[in-house]
Structure 1
Amino acid sequence: MTTRTIDLRSLGRATLARQGLLERRPGAVEPVVAAVLGLQSQLPDAPYLALAARLDGFDFAHLTGALNEHTVVRSTLMRGTLHLVTADDFRWLRPTVQPAIERVFRSGFTKRLGGADVEAVLTAADELLAERALTHADLKAALGERFGHDDPAALAYTVQYRRMLVHMPPAGQWARGGRVYARPADNVIGTLSSADPVELIRRHLRAFGPATARDVQAWSGLSGLDDIAAQMSDEVEWFDGPDGQRLLDLSGLARPDADVPAPVRLLPEFDSLLLAHHDRRRVMTDEVRARVCVGSAVAATVLVDGVVDGIWTWARRRGGIEVRPLRRWSKAVRACVEAEGARLLELAGTPQYDLTIGEPD
C-alpha cells in the first residue's frame, strides 16, 4: 500500500474546497447542506451566515422555505448539539450518532433522574407528542405532574436526548426567537433508517477530509471508529500527515494544490469548519484556537488565505458588523473583508448598516 505525505496547508485547501469556501457552490440549499454534512445551529441565525459564505446566489428566504417544507430539519445531532441537516441525511445520521447523544445524556442527567423509571417517562412522552408538538416547558410540566419528580426538567431532557425529535418552524429561522416546539422525526419526515457508521466516515471525508479516525470521532462524538476506518481499505487512500498522523481520504476525491488562492470569508459562531477535526491546525494555529474557542464558545471568524485571521461580531443594537483582525492586514485584505461584510449585510436586509474594522490586539 503506497502512502503519500500531506501538509497542513494542503489539508486546509482540501477541506475548504469541500466546504464551498474556495469557491461558492451554485444551486439550491439542500444539496449544499448535504455536501457540507450539516450546519451548526445552536444559534438559529448561524446556518444562514454559514450558507452565505458557501452558496452562490443564496437568499435567506431559501433556507427559511426549506425549513418550512421540512426538506431541511433542525435537531440534536453531532456531539449532542443542534444542527441543520437535510431530511434525507437525518434519517440515517441521527440513528448513527444516537450512541454519542445518549452518552451526553447519561453524563449530564443520570444523577438528576435518581430512581425515575426512564422507559415509563419515554412512553408517557410518546403519548403526549403523538397528540401535538410540544415545547421543553410543556414536557417539563406534563411529565413533572404525572411522575411527581423533584427535577421535572431532567425528565424533559430525557425525552430530548433519548427520542429522535425535530424542531418545528419557525424554530431555527433567521431572527426568530421564542418557544421551540418539537415533534417525533418520523411523524414529520417519515421512517428513519438504520445506523451506518461507514457512511458517516465516508460523508465526513467528503465534507471535511482528508481526516484521521480521531477527527471523525471528535466531530461526531462517537468512539471506536478506528477499526471501522481500517476496514475501508478498498475505498480509501492513506496519507502521512503532520506529526506522524495517519489520514485517510476517499479514493478519487480531488485535493487542490496547496497554492490555490483562498478568498476572504466570514464564518458564523460555531461554524462546522472549526469543529470538524481533533487537530484543527489546518484552519487555525493552536494560538489562534485559544482566542477563538473560549470555554464552550466558538467565535465568529474571518478566513484570510484559508486560515482564521480575525474575529467578528454582529452588533445588532448599534447596527452593522464589527471586525477585529488577529494581525495587521494589508489594504487589499481589508477591502476584501469590507466587500464580504457588505454582501452579508445586503443578504440580511440591512444594507444601511456599516462594517468597521478595528486594530489587532
Structure 2
Amino acid sequence: MSAAAVVVTASPRDIARIRVTRQGLGSASPDVLGSDRPLSTAADVVERMLAIQAQDLPAAAWALGVRAPGLTQADVDQAINEGSILRSWPMRGTLHFVPPADLNWMLELTTPRLMTGTKTRRTQLDLDMAVIEQAREIAQEALVGGRALTRAAFLELLEAHGIATANQRGYHLIWHLAQSGTLCWGPRVANVQALVLLDEWVPNPRRLVRDEALGEFVLRYFAGHGPATLKDFAWWAKLTVADATLGLAVVRDRLIEIRVGETSHFLPADADTGSWGSIARQRSPVLALAGFDEMLLGYTDRSFAVSVENFERVVPGKNGMFLPMMLEHGRVLGTWRREKTSRGITAEPRPFDGLTARQRASFERSIREYSTFLGVPVGVIPSS
C-alpha cells in the first residue's frame, strides 16, 4: 500500500500525545519523530518546527530550550548572533524564529496577501509607497556591507531624513521592509537585536517555484505540528484555503491521513504508526512551557490541548495573550506565573484542578531545567 493510501484512525487523546512527540517535547523513540537525530540545538528545533512565534523573545528562547534539553539561553543568543536561526515576520504579520534559508520562499507566499490587508493601516499612518521606498533606500545605504542598527538607531536615522516615526509609523516601516524582504533581525547589539539586510545575512536562500514552495510549507508544518488539519495549516500560515489545498496535493503522497471522527489530520509518512501505542504507555512529565508556545498557538482548534471551559484561563479574555502553561500528555493542566523580584526569579504553578505530588515534583524538575537554561536560580512557590 502506498503512503498516499495510508489512512488510520485516532482519538483526540492520541492526537494530543503524538503532537507532543512531533514537537520535540516527548521522550518517544526517534522513529515516531520520523528522524534518527534528537533535537539538541536551537537550529535543530527551528528546522523541525519551521516557525516558532517569537514576538516575546524570552518566551521564544525557552520554547527552544524546552525542546532541546541542555540548551541554554547563551546557546540561543549565539545561534541568533551567528545566524543559524533567524527572527523576522514570515507570516501572520507576527515575529517568528525560522531557518534562515527558508525565509525567502515563505515571504514570497505570504507577503502579497498581508500587504493587501495593510492598505487601510498605511492610509491611517499616512505612509504611501514613496515614503516606504525612501525608507528602503535609507536602510540599504546605512546597512550595506554587513552593518547593523538597533531599532532605536534606525528610527533616529529615518527622523534625520525627514521621515516621522511616531505613532507606530516607525514600527510599520520596519515591518514593511522586513515583510518585503529587505530587512530582518540580526545579531544582538547592546542586549537588543539589530536590523540587518536580509540578502547579506542570508546570502544563499533556498529558491523554490510556487507550487514546490506550497508543498514544502504544508509538509514542514505537518512534520513539526502534526497531526493537524488543513484548516490548522491555512490559519497558521495565513494562506488561502485554495493555496493550502494546492500545497496538500503536491505532497499528498508523502503524508499519512489520520481521522478523528470525520475530520482528517495529516502527518508525514516517515512516522512509525506502529509505535504510537508506546506513547500512550509512557509516563509524561509535567512541562513548564512558555507563553505563546506552538503546542497551543500552532493550531486553530485548541480543544485537543485545553478544554473550552478552561481556555480563557490560558488566554484571558481571548485577547491574544497566551500565558505560560503546564503540560502533561499534551493536555494543559494549568498556567504558571514567572515573577522577577529583588531576591531572584520565582515560578508559581496555577493548576486548574490541583496537582498530585508526582505532578508537582515533575513540574519542579521542569522549572529546575528552566533555571539551568537561564543560568539563574528559579524557585517554585506554592499555588495561590
Alpha-carbon distance change, 271 to 228 in structure 1, aligned in 2, over 3 angstroms: same
Which letter maps to 1:127? E
Q: For the residues of structure 2 that align with 1:100 and 1:280, how far apart are their CA atoms?
A: 25
Q: Secondary structure at the match of 1:280?
A: coil
- 1:312 maps to 2:319: no
Contact 1:214 1:226 in 2 (8 A): no
C-alpha distance in 1 between matches for 2:67 and 2:101: 20
2 CA distance for matches of 1:231 and 1:28?
A: 30
The 1:161–1:87 alpha-carbon spacing in structure 2 relative to 1, beyond 3 Å, is closer
- Given that 2:289 and 2:324 are in contact with CA atoms closer than 8 Å, whether structure 1 keeps it comes out as yes
Q: Say which is worse superposed, 333-342 or 152-161, in terms of deviation.
A: 152-161
Q: Find the residue that maps to 1:77 and give its secondary structure.
A: strand
Q: CA deviation at 1:39?
A: 2.7
For residue 331 of structure 1, the aligned residue among 339, 357, 376 is 357
State the distance in 1 between where 2:178 and 2:78 align: 25
**1:22 shift after superposition:** 1.1
- The CA deviation string for residues 13-65 of structure 1, in whole angstroms up to 9 with x for no partner, is 22111111112945333222211223322122123311332112223322222
Structure 2 equivalent of residue 88 of structure 1 = 101
Out of 305, 320, 327, the position equivalent to 1:296 is: 320
How many residues of Structure 1 are paired with residues of Structure 2 in the alignment? 352
- How much does 1:246 deviate? 2.2
**TM-score relative to the length of structure 2:** 0.81
Aligned residue in 1 for 2:148: 133
Say which of 289, 303, 308 aligns to 1:286. 308
Q: Distance in 2 between matches of 1:104 and 1:297?
A: 22
Q: Are residue 62 (structure 1) and residue 78 (structure 2) matched?
A: no
Q: Say whether the 8 Å CA contact 1:23–1:54 is kept in structure 2.
A: no
**CA-to-aligned-CA distance 1:234-266 (integer Å, 9 cap, x gap):** 222323224x32222222323523624332111
- Whether the 8 Å CA contact 2:19–2:330 is kept in 1: the answer is no
Deviations 1:165-219 (A, max 9, x none): 2212226xxxx855x4201111112133345121011001110112211111121
Which sits farther off after the overlay, 87-96 or 3-12? 87-96
Aligned to 1:98: 111
> Are the equivalent residues in 2 in contact too, given 1:26–1:57 (CA < 8 A)?
no
Query: 1:235 aligned to 2:254?
Result: yes
RMSD, matched Cα: 2.7
Range with greater deviation from structure 2 (91-100 or 51-60): 91-100
Which residue identity is paired with 1:126?
Q
Please state how far the C-alpha of 1:149 moved relative to its aligned partner: 5.9
Distance in 2 (CA, whole Å) between partners of 1:194 and 1:71 is 18
Q: Write the deviation string for residues 54-82 of structure 1: whole angstroms up to 9, x where unpaired.
A: 11222332222222211112212231211
Determine which of 348, 355, 371 is the counterpart of 1:322. 348
1:273 aligned onto 2:295: yes
Residues 4 and 148 of structure 1: CA distance in aligned 2, closer, same or farther (over 3 Å)? closer
Q: Which of 247, 251, 260 pairs up with 2:269?
A: 251
Bigger drift between 250-259 and 272-281 goes to 250-259
Q: Out of 136, 143, 149, which is 1:122 matched to?
A: 136
Q: What secondary structure is seen at the aligned counterpart in 1 of 2:333?
A: strand
Give 2:216's aligned residue.
199
Identity %: 24
Alignment-mate amino acid for residue 179 of structure 2: Y
C-alpha distance in 1 between matches for 2:200 and 2:102: 16
Match of 1:356 in 2: 381
Gaps of 5+ in 1: none
Change (3 A) 1:104 1:77: farther
Contact kept, 8 Å, 2:16 with 2:329, in 1: the verdict is no
82-91 or 328-337, which moves further after superposition? 82-91
Structure 2 gaps, min length 5: 29-37
Give the AA of the match of 2:20: L
Aligned pair in 2 of structure 1 residues 347, 139: CA closer, same or farther (>3 Å)? closer
Distance 1:2 1:41, change over 3 A: closer
The counterpart of 2:234, out of the listed 217, 225, 229, is 217
The answer (yes or no) to whether the contact 1:121–1:143 under 8 Å persists in 2 is: yes
